Structure 1
Amino acid sequence: MSHDFVNPAALHDPTGFGYSHVVRTPGGLVFVAGQYASDAEGNVTSDDFAEQVDRSLENLGTALAAVDLGYADVVRLRTHIVDHDMDKLAVLAARIERIWGKRPPTQTLTGVASLALPGMLFEVDAVAVRP
């Protein structure tokens, strides 16, 4: 069995940007590319940080659902925050707790000067494991 690349119809077509949203591996690992607050055309949907976090995590959920997984299957997150500060960390922590409760996946947070597209303030990628 080879790797299976998946680009859910509910998310923008990422191939023009040079990537796929999800790849399933024969060993059961699933990698989800960086999700941001994008609409169906790939445009950033808001200039509000909290709204971007919410939309990015919703898009992550959509990507996971496309391969019959959910948030509970995520074992690793990488998050990227433009101009990171403690207020933004508090927003992210609240969203993580809302989704994963007291058992969040591992996470690496990186503060960055900018992300791939103008207006992006947050991005999250994930590794999940098929049960």
Structure 2
Amino acid sequence: MKHLFAFLLLICAFQTKAQTFKNPESLFNPAPYGFSHASSVKTPGELIYISGQSGGLGKQHLLSPDFRIQVKTALENLTVILNNYELKPENVMKITILIVDHSSEKLKIWEEEISKVWKTKPFPASTLIPVSKLALDGMQIEVDAVAFKAN
């Protein structure tokens, strides 16, 4: 009987959703801004740490002067890495966004573009950091992420 109970607990553990996103009702609704207040992962699984992806296009890392194009490209670059792990944007638990000369106009562009990539909600936990400069001249955005892949 003890083994049957342990087996049932194990089955329940693997049938529960591994990822949880929380937006407590006592805090503001972050969904319009493209993030959740917190995310957690129940294991077993694999965490994937994705280095900052810029808005540089292709192997030549061509940087458009247009901020929106760089945002789209950074999100596309992030998606390429996720695809290599057979994951989707919804598997991202946490992102950090660095924006050069951040403004409300740039935030609006970010919100519009992330909503196109994250087709199902909730959004991941997120931190946006305004910066004066990034690694290369012309880089206007960099996005890093932590994703989860269930076993």
TM-score range, shorter chain: 0.7 to 0.9
Match of 1:108 in 2: 127
Runs of 4+ in 1 over 3 A off after TM superposition: none
Q: 1:71 aligns with which of 89, 100, 124?
A: 89
**Count of residue pairs brought into register by the alignment:** 106
Q: Distance in 1 between matches of 2:86 and 2:71?
A: 23
What is the TM-score of this pair, normalised by structure 1?
0.75
- TM-score w.r.t. the length of structure 2 is 0.66
Letter in 1 for 2:61: N
In 2, Cα distance between equivalents of 1:128 and 1:85 = 27
Query: Sequence identity of aligned pairs in percent?
Result: 39
Query: Structure 2: which 5+ residue stretches go unaligned?
Result: 1-43
Which of the two has higher C-alpha Rg? Answer: 2
Partner of 1:84: 102
Query: Is this contact kept in 2: 1:44–1:120, CA < 8 A?
Result: no
Alignment partner, residue 138 of structure 2: 119
Structure with greater helix percent: 2
Map 1:1-80 to 2 at 5 A.
Answer: 28-80=46-98
* RMSD of equivalent CA atoms: 1.6
Matched, 1:93 2:111: yes
| Residue 69 (structure 1) shift | 1.0
What are the ranges of 5 or more consecutive residues in structure 1 without an aligned counterpart? 1-25
